[in-house]
Amino acid sequence: MAEWRRWLRLLFVAGGILLAYFLVPVTNDLDSSVVARGVGAVLVLTLLAVAVVRQLVLHLDQTKARIDGLIITVMTVAVVFSFVFYALAVHVPDQFADLETRLDSLYFVGASMATIGYGDVHAKGQLARGLVLVLMVFNVVFVGTAVALMSSQIKRVASTRVAERHQNEGPR
Q: Which DSSP category does 101 fall into?
A: S
Q: What's phi and psi for 95, nearest 5 deg?
A: -80, -30
pLDDT (0 to 100) of residue 140:
82
- pLDDT tens column, 72-93: 778 888 888 899 899 999 999 9
pLDDT averaged over every residue in the chain = 82
- pLDDT tens column, 147-161: 777 677 778 878 888
Indicate the pLDDT class of residue 115, thresholds 50, 70 and 90.
confident
Indicate the pLDDT class of residue 68, thresholds 50, 70 and 90.
confident
pLDDT (0 to 100) of residue 38:
73
Indicate the pLDDT class of residue 8, thresholds 50, 70 and 90.
confident
Query: Is the confidence at residue 34, as pLDDT, over 90?
Result: no
Neighbouring-strand partners of residue 122: 97
Average pLDDT over residues 55-74: 65
Q: Collapsing DSSP states into helix, strand and coil, what is residue 25?
A: coil
Question: Interior CA angle at 45 toward 18 and 7, to 5°?
Answer: 55
pLDDT (0 to 100) of residue 172:
57
> What residue ranges in 16-132 does DSSP mark as E strands?
96-97, 122-123
Average pLDDT over residues 3-25: 84
Q: Which domains, ranges and CATH numbers included, belong to the chain?
A: 3-169 (1.10.287.70)
Indicate the pLDDT class of residue 106, thresholds 50, 70 and 90.
very high
Query: Is the confidence at residue 71, as pLDDT, over 90?
Result: no
